Copies of this chain bind each other. A is one copy, B any other.
Amino acid sequence: MQPTVRDPNPPLTRSVEDYLKAIYHLSSQGGFAATSDIAAMLEVSPPSVSGMVKRLSEMGLIEHVPYRGVQLTSQGRRAALRMIRRHRILELYLTQHLGYDWGGVHDEAERLEHAVSDELIERMASALGQPQYDPHGDPIPTAAGDIEEAELVSLADAHVGTKLELRQVGTQDTARLRYFAEQGLTPGVLLTVSERQPFNGPTTIALVPSGDPRVVGRELAQLLWCQEIGS
């Protein structure tokens, strides 16, 4: 009788699961997730992130390059996609079957995603007819862990007349980020492309649903990664 052996594969905790999701989202555009960005997304202090990063890499869930950032291992990616599947199915189930609106649904899913069993998620998925998109149009990963890669287009390249959802802002520059925020250009915003001036000129857009116009120069437009909203 040995003095208690540590379980080599303990279930992931709520914190761990939320960190993995944050890292997935922050590194989805191919790079590293920075400590301070993870901290901002999860509303914890940077040292808390450093501490968790150490644990996660010891668990084999992430790869850490000191002072650079982190990336998910394939094991970490699998775990992150599992949580994203749960989150998105929950959001859809709550809106479709329990009358939630887009607003309230995210916070509820953020807590429930850690408490539901795989069985419950699959029962909800069945009740929904094996859906592919959540209420916000985001793709739902399959139970096997495959996800439709969103085809993002920079605003500078988007065709005039298309309707877009702003999905990612491709800079970490504080001044630019602050400017985008002032303009109401934050991830999740819907817009239509009104016109574009020739010779690398600015793009004019209209925000949805307000209709407010914005004129965005080419340099900044290249930083705004958008997803076309299906018909």
Asked whether, in the complex, the Cβ of A124 is within 8 Å of the Cβ of B98, the reply is: yes
Tell me if A116 counts as interface (CB < 8 A to partner B): yes
A81-100 contact mask (Cβ, 8 Å, vs B): 1 or 0:
00000000000001001111
Q: How far is the CA of A117 from the CA of B111 in the complex (A)?
A: 9
Asked whether, in the complex, the Cβ of B120 is within 8 Å of the Cβ of A94, the reply is: yes
Q: How far is the CA of A97 from the CA of B104 in the complex (A)?
A: 21
Q: How far is the CA of A120 from the CA of B99 in the complex (A)?
A: 10
Q: How far is the CA of A97 from the CA of B127 in the complex (A)?
A: 9
| A117 surroundings in chain B (CB, below 8 A) | 107-108, 111
Residues of A contacting B: mostly = helix
| A160 surroundings in chain B (CB, below 8 A) | none
Q: How far is the CA of A144 from the CA of B52 in the complex (A)?
A: 41
Residue of B nearest to A124 (CB): B98
| A114 surroundings in chain B (CB, below 8 A) | 115
| A41 surroundings in chain B (CB, below 8 A) | none
Copies in the complex: 2
Q: How far is the CA of A115 from the CA of B17 in the complex (A)?
A: 15
Tell me if A149 counts as interface (CB < 8 A to partner B): no
| A115 surroundings in chain B (CB, below 8 A) | 111-112, 114-115
Tell me if A123 counts as interface (CB < 8 A to partner B): yes
Within 8 A of B (CB), among A103-134: 104, 107-108, 111-112, 114-117, 119-120, 123-124, 127
Q: How far is the CA of A108 from the CA of B53 in the complex (A)?
A: 30
Q: How far is the CA of A97 from the CA of B114 in the complex (A)?
A: 21
10 CB contacts below 8 A, A to B, read A97-B97, A97-B127, A98-B124, A99-B123, A100-B123, A104-B119, A108-B117, A108-B119, A111-B117, A112-B115
**A residues with CB within 8 A of B:** 94, 97-100, 104, 107-108, 111-112, 114-117, 119-120, 123-124, 127
The 10 closest A-B CB pairs, nearest first, are: A115-B115, A111-B115, A98-B123, A112-B115, A108-B117, A108-B120, A99-B123, A98-B127, A112-B116, A114-B115
